[in-house]
Amino acid sequence: MALKLPSVGIVSLGCPKNLVDTEVMLGYLRREGLTLGDPDSSRVVIVNTCGFIDQAKEESVNAVLEQVRRKEAGEIDRVVVAGCMVQKYGAELAAEIPEIDHFIGLDELEKAPAAALGLPSLPRFTAKPLATRLYDDLAPRVLTGRRGYAYLKVAEGCNNPCTFCTIPQMRGLQRSRTVESLVREALSLEAQGVSELVLISQDTTRYGEDVGLGREGLTTLVSTLLGETSFPWIRFLYAYPKTLHESVLKLMAGEPRFVPYVDIPLQHVSRRVLAAMRRGGDPESYSRMFAGMRETVPGIALRTTFIAGFPSETEADFEELLSFVKEVEVDHLGVFPYSPGARVGGGRAGRSGSGRGEGRALRGRHGGAARDLPPEEPRAEGEGPRSDRRRGLRRIGAPPRGTAEAPGARDRRKAPDQRRSRRLRPASRDRREGPGDGSARLRSRGADRRVSPRLP
């Protein structure tokens, strides 16, 4: 008698880069014949975690503990944890939560089927400090959602030393994919009915530097994609102030299919605060940069984000930020309260005495999307062990303090929602898709729960 394979559901947390990893794991699961289902009804649940900042780590820990509770109640058979938290905190999680069956690091996405099946040959956890692999067009992938866009991950890792960011400590240094590999995957996405291609990585404006394409690597890539594909829209996320080359803007001005939209997180404008962040810059240079972008690309939509309450931020620094916001009038502005990342330089600097109040002031006066979470509901009687365990994990994930909501309805001047938590389940097949053509989609269920500061 044939072995009945379990259904597998995935809860995907964090950024679009993490979502692509989820879609690759789904591809490997489907390749091995496993059924992809809703986490609420599947017998195996994979939680793809985010470890970017304390709020993200807390959300990930909560999501894992929820699945552990369901396993203890007999609702599911296996719990698998994947993603950034595994890469950096896997040893601690393995010790603190023995109910987790397997851990999948960032370089182990192809092990998702073995973990879901509980194969005894697969180690429960394999320690590896940094990710070094680069998945390409040969990796299987199942698209999620029914929107008209899909993400194309052009690189992994990051070379920037920002003191508030742990990405290089998990995903390693930047590793760019080849143009040829990206074109092949883009053509595959186009064949599946995708209308908008969104190029992503941690520092997309530095794409190609490590593979000999120089500072115009992103321009070369977009030009090639425009010539080799027929996507009506191609856009990229995210720009870094120091590495956005003028050739990108010139191409954007002359190519109507290259969406005139730049998401360029500045994080602050005070020279002193930016120096503490190890970023550089000042209000004058940023004002000139925005003016130049608008001159080169008339009608361009500009989005940026700021961190309020960074350690050592003063009232004068904050007023400088307010003045800049009033002067440049960007199209989309996100403001986020500082949330420390463990073992990162900025997290050791102490807290600004006025940061939280200033964050509220900026959000209130200038329409930022950040808001405070409601207090946690009281624990039900008998949940003491879970509460104790949660306290024991504080060094991995801190208590929730603030959050932000993603933008609403999108048009050409708005990018796809960029940070979501997703509970994925199969969607009905589109009428344009033939049976067994490998283009089954999954859809996102539930509202946005968190948007973290977006970093280049």
341 pLDDT more than 60: no
Instruction: Please state the rounded mean pLDDT for residues 333-357.
Output: 55
Q: Which helix (H) or strand (E) holds 261?
A: strand 261-263
Residue type, position 323, single letter: S
What's the confidence (pLDDT) of residue 367? 35
User: 56 pLDDT band (50/70/90 cuts)?
Assistant: confident
The two beta strands, 442-445 and 233-237, are unpaired
Q: Which two tokens stand for residue 139?
A: 């990796």
Q: Which helix (H) or strand (E) holds 23?
A: helix 16-31
What is the C-alpha separation between 158 and 34, in angstroms, rounded? 34
Residue 139 carries which DSSP code?
S
Burial of 376 (0-12, 13-18, 19+ CB in 10 A): exposed
Q: Write out the residue limits of the CATH 3.30.750.200 domain(s) in the chain.
A: 261-372
Query: What's phi and psi for 362, nearest 5 deg?
Result: -65, -40
378 pLDDT more than 90: no
What's the confidence (pLDDT) of residue 453? 26
The length of the chain, given as a count of residues: 456
What's the confidence (pLDDT) of residue 269? 97
174 pLDDT more than 80: yes
Percent of the chain with pLDDT strictly greater than 90: 65
Percent of the chain with pLDDT strictly greater than 70: 74
Residue whose token pair is 């440049």: 328
44 pLDDT more than 80: yes
What is the C-alpha separation between 48 and 43, in angstroms, rounded? 16
Per-residue pLDDT of 75-104, as tens digits, reads 999 999 999 999 999 999 999 999 999 999
Higher pLDDT, 257 or 342: 257
Mean pLDDT lowest among 201-210, 232-241, 362-371 = 362-371
What is the C-alpha separation between 432 and 33, in angstroms, rounded? 23
Topology (CATH level 3) of domain 148-259: Transcription Regulator spoIIAA (3.30.750)
Per-residue pLDDT of 57-81, as tens digits, reads 899 999 999 999 999 999 999 999 9
Instruction: Please state the rounded mean pLDDT for residues 130-150.
Output: 91
Q: Which two tokens stand for residue 92?
A: 């601690």
412 pLDDT more than 60: yes
Q: Which two tokens stand for residue 275?
A: 């120096």
User: 354 pLDDT band (50/70/90 cuts)?
Assistant: very low
452 pLDDT more than 90: no
CATH number of 261-372: 3.30.750.200
What's the confidence (pLDDT) of residue 168? 86
What's the confidence (pLDDT) of residue 415? 75
Rounded mean pLDDT of the chain? 80
What's the confidence (pLDDT) of residue 146? 65
> What is the full DSSP assignment across 392-456?
HTTTTSPPP-EEEPPP-S--TTSPPP-S--EEEEE-PPPTTSPTTSS---EEEES-----PPP--
Residue pair 439/433 in contact (Cβ under 8 Å)? The answer is yes
Higher pLDDT, 392 or 32: 32
Mean pLDDT lowest among 7-16, 221-230, 287-296, 381-390 = 381-390
Residue pair 14/419 in contact (Cβ under 8 Å)? The answer is yes
What is the C-alpha separation between 290 and 126, in angstroms, rounded? 46
What's the confidence (pLDDT) of residue 55? 83
Mean pLDDT lowest among 10-24, 101-115, 423-437 = 423-437
What is the C-alpha separation between 14 and 50, in angstroms, rounded? 5
Residue pair 11/422 in contact (Cβ under 8 Å)? The answer is yes
CATH number of 7-128+416-428+442-456: 3.40.50.12160
Q: Write out the residue limits of the CATH 3.40.50.12160 domain(s) in the chain.
A: 7-128+416-428+442-456
What do you get for the CA distance between the two ends of the chain, in Å?
Answer: 52
Q: Indicate the pTM of the whole model.
A: 0.79
Q: Angle, to 10 degrees, between the axis of helix 54-72 and the axis of helix 384-392?
A: 150
- E strands of 52-157, at which residues? 78-83, 102-104, 149-153, 155-156
Q: Which helix (H) or strand (E) holds 88?
A: helix 84-96
What's the confidence (pLDDT) of residue 435? 26
105 pLDDT more than 80: yes
Cα-Cα-Cα-Cα dihedral sign, residues 77, 8, 111, 147: negative
Strand partners, 7: 35
The two beta strands, 149-153 and 301-308, are unpaired
Per-residue pLDDT of 292-331, as tens digits, reads 999 999 999 999 999 999 999 999 999 999 999 999 999 9
What's the confidence (pLDDT) of residue 54? 82
What is the C-alpha separation between 387 and 395, in angstroms, rounded? 14
Residue type, position 175, single letter: R
Q: Write out the residue limits of the CATH 3.30.750.210 domain(s) in the chain.
A: 148-259
